[in-house]
Amino acid sequence: MWRIGHAQDHEKGTGCTVLVFPDGATASCDIRGGAPGTRETVLLAPECTVDKVNALVLTGGSARGLSAADGVMRYCEERGWGFDSGFGMIPLVPAACLFDLGCGEPSAWPEPSMGMEACLGARPLEESPMGNYGAGTGATVGKYSLLGKAMKSGFGWARKVSGELEVCAVTALNAFGAVRDLAGGFMAGALDGDRIIDPGSMSGAGDVWDEWGRNTTLAAIVTNARLDKAACRRVAIMGQAGLAGALFPFNTPFDGDTVFCAATGETSSSTVLVGWLAASALEEAARNAVLHARSAFGFASFSDLR
């Protein structure tokens, strides 16, 4: 059974989240944001040879935080997991990063030891905390105005079931845009006092919108369905629609939005059903990341506005 673990530094405002697949999982991904930071995502393309991964890493710290994957690789290697190269096992650990350097200590980022810590603490999804944990530790949303007006976000998850089919979604929500509630209003975003500024009211002129590289929503879908890499990619694409339902604007030039999909292959299902449930789960997970976040580093949270 797959597991999820988090490691974080609450004082310095960064962390990582690791999804561990002891028996491997077929995986692919979809990258829509204009400023991504990733590691080994090219091998997830359907036309590439390797179809199983041992873990997925979502990390803060921007590109430097990708080093957390080194600790995850070491964890897998110690257990004999990976691709048999004929000269030793090579763990396959794709990773993606988000920019959290504006929240907490800019000189801090997840290192290999933090990746190892997250693996050692991995548990079933139902035992995972939400809010200021893992890759969501330094996450904020609503950077379409001045950075100081952004709100605290975090890590969220949701689970959908249809018969024997299970589709889980996790996300570290660190978006340029605002977060919509179920009624279509805004529950988190750039603040003007205690009012959330409608992104549609912004002119998009001047330095206010010059937030390149300071964002990125990371997500992963995990299903027990039997899917090949092409189907996993399609599910990841469909999952993006769930995030688009919760975030506005989404997939901007200033985000590196990346969605992984991993399939553990325990039951039969159609790609359409898995993708539909994935979109629904990701939309719920995105709102959970806001609902469970707590104010930190001078950034207010949803709970502060109620």
List pLDDT tens digits, range 211-237. 555 788 999 999 999 999 999 999 999
Q: What is the pLDDT of residue 62?
A: 95
Comparing 208 with 183, the larger pLDDT belongs to 183
d(CA 251, CA 244): 8
d(CA 154, CA 131): 4
* Residue that has been written with the tokens 């991964």 in this structure: 53
DSSP state of 245: H
Instruction: Say yes or no to pLDDT of 299 above 90.
Output: yes
The token pair at 42 is 């090219």
* Least confident residue range of 20-24, 148-152, 197-201: 197-201
pLDDT tens per residue across span 239-274? 999 999 999 988 888 888 999 999 999 999 999 999
Q: Would you say 106 and 3 are in contact if contact means Cβ atoms under 8 Å apart? A: no
Q: What is the pLDDT of residue 68?
A: 98
- Provide the residue ranges of all domains of the chain, joining segments of one domain with +: 3-124+136-305
Q: Which CATH superfamily is domain 3-124+136-305 in?
A: L-amino peptidase D-ALA esterase/amidase (3.60.70.12)
pLDDT tens per residue across span 96-105? 999 999 888 9
| pTM of the shown model | 0.95
d(CA 301, CA 141): 10
pLDDT tens per residue across span 32-74? 988 899 999 999 999 998 889 999 999 999 999 999 999 999 9
Q: Which whole number is the average pLDDT over 92-113?
A: 94
Beta bridge partners of 210: none
Q: What is the pLDDT of residue 205?
A: 52
Q: Would you say 157 and 125 are in contact if contact means Cβ atoms under 8 Å apart? A: yes
